[in-house]
Amino acid sequence: MIEAVIFDMDGVLIDSEPFWLAAEREVFGSLGIIVTEEHSSITSRMTTREVTQYWFDIQPWLERSLADVEHHVIMRVAEFVDLYGEIMPGVEQTLKYFKQEGYKIGLATNSPGILVSRILKKIGIEGYFSSILTADSVDIGKPDPQIYLKSASSLSVSPSKCLVFEDSQGGVMAAINAGMAVIAVSGKYSDTYGNFDQADRWISNLLDFCPEYIEIINRRLIAQVTCSIVVQS
């Protein structure tokens, strides 16, 4: 039975993809790099450190350290968030539902901690989360399942009793590989990030979330446990 829900942030709670693209084009562009949509589709789900290393490997620069460039990208995104950041449809209603129903609520994102706190404060939902894990919390970001396993541990819940809301194929696979149920939030970028066939459900945004989905997932989990017991006996 589901006891905890874990949310990705970018694309699920806030539409920050345009901010990242604008910041990367500006910062990497100042180093003579042309950030194309093709490359952006590859880097979009990397951590900021991984994105910076990605571009350095393609076209090395000498004038600035990688850490300095990464920090510049993050700060530009933060400025865009302060100016234009808005909460995604259905977020507050969904968080209120899970809190009222007594579920533990976590956040697991590839974004850096300095930006996460800023975003949550900007859209006014920082008080909902019992656990917040960021790119700073793990050695490797999604699609590796590490951040979701650590999130479950921090919530004191078995991974098999966690439900994840994700908007990227890599994020969905990270949650599945952690042994969690997943609802894919396709949003406007699903064509870029691939299909979500392995998710338990697929919704356009959190306004489409229905409590019945939890019941359906719980029935699947019970059936799996029952089948396992029968096989073992």
pLDDT of residue 192: 43
- Do 119 and 9 contact (CB within 8 A), yes or no? yes
pLDDT at 23: 96
Q: Give CA 231 to chain center in angstroms.
A: 35
CA distance 203 to 187: 8
Task: Name the token pair of 171.
Answer: 């994020």
pLDDT value, residue 223 = 82
* pLDDT one-digit tens code per residue, 145-155: 999 999 999 99
CA nearest to 122, candidates 85, 67, 175, 96:
85
pLDDT in tens, 64-111: 999 999 999 999 999 999 999 999 999 999 999 999 999 999 999 999
Q: What is the pLDDT of residue 193?
A: 46
pLDDT reported for residue 46: 85
Reading the block at residue 13, the tokens are: 């709670």
Q: What is the pLDDT of residue 7?
A: 98
Q: Is 57 a known active-site residue?
A: no
CB 8 within 8 A of CB 108: yes
Q: How many CA atoms lie within 13 A of 211 on its CB side?
A: 9
Burial class (CB in 10 A: 0-12, 13-18, 19+), 103: buried
Domains belonging to the chain, first-starting first, are: 4-15+87-232 (3.40.50.1000), 17-84 (1.10.150.240)
The residue from 8, 10, 15, 167 that is catalytic is: 8
Positions of the chain with pLDDT lower than 50, given as ranges: 190-193, 230-231, 233
> In a 3-state reduction of DSSP, which class is residue 110?
coil
